[in-house]
A and B are shown apart, each in its own frame.
Chain A
């Protein structure tokens, strides 16, 4: 199994509070991604990183920010959580981008915003 650890695995929080999810990899892969998974929508890209301090927005980036200060860590922050951000969040890594891209996923974080 690829060395990807997401923390926490489960979190319940209240509307308006800040939340940070962490993804840690031991594979030294260049690319890291945050996806959210909701029924009927599959996986939707929030943000991704192509190197330390290099990040870009995905299709559902509003309300989220990310940081990557080290190769191995990619943080996702919800500055002020809303109920629409209740979801399962997956971190993924890959060595390449494009046709040779092979994603390895973490086990996910179940976030509930009440």
Chain B
């Protein structure tokens, strides 16, 4: 059983469309991170959210941490082909190291 569930698992959209990816859990996290991974490479950190209800923006990417700190979303506005990749959320439960979700694979078609 995955502690962090991501949805959808796969998403294929056209350039210019908007999309939202979700990361959900029944556990409370002290912080949550989003990473992007390109083929043949390791994940790269995009953002860390710490406070319930927090919203962070990174250019066309908007990240939100749920009020109860159990879930998070990533919204991409006007997707570009360069956004293609695997998006991973990772949560800190206070035990050991980060726990990762199963990922959302995004394909943006030109």
Contact = CB atoms under 8 A, between A and B. Distances in A.
Nearest to B41: A107
Nearest to B44: A105
Contacts of A48: 96-97
Main secondary structure of the interface of B (DSSP, over half): loop
Q: Residue among A4, A44, A101 with the most chain B CB within 10 A?
A: A101
B31 interface: yes
Contacts, number: 68
A44 B100 contact: yes
A50 to B, nearest CB: 10
B29 to A, nearest CB: 9
Interface residues of A, number: 26
A105 B94 contact: no
Interface string A6-44: 000000000000000000000000010101000011111
Interface stretch (A63-71, A73-81, A91-99): A91-99
A48 B98 CA distance: 11
B88 interface: yes
Contacts of B30: 98-99
Interface of A: 4, 31, 33, 35, 40-45, 48, 56, 58, 90, 92, 97-99, 101-108
Interface of B: 2, 4, 6, 9, 30-31, 33, 35, 40-45, 48, 50, 88, 90, 92, 94, 96-103
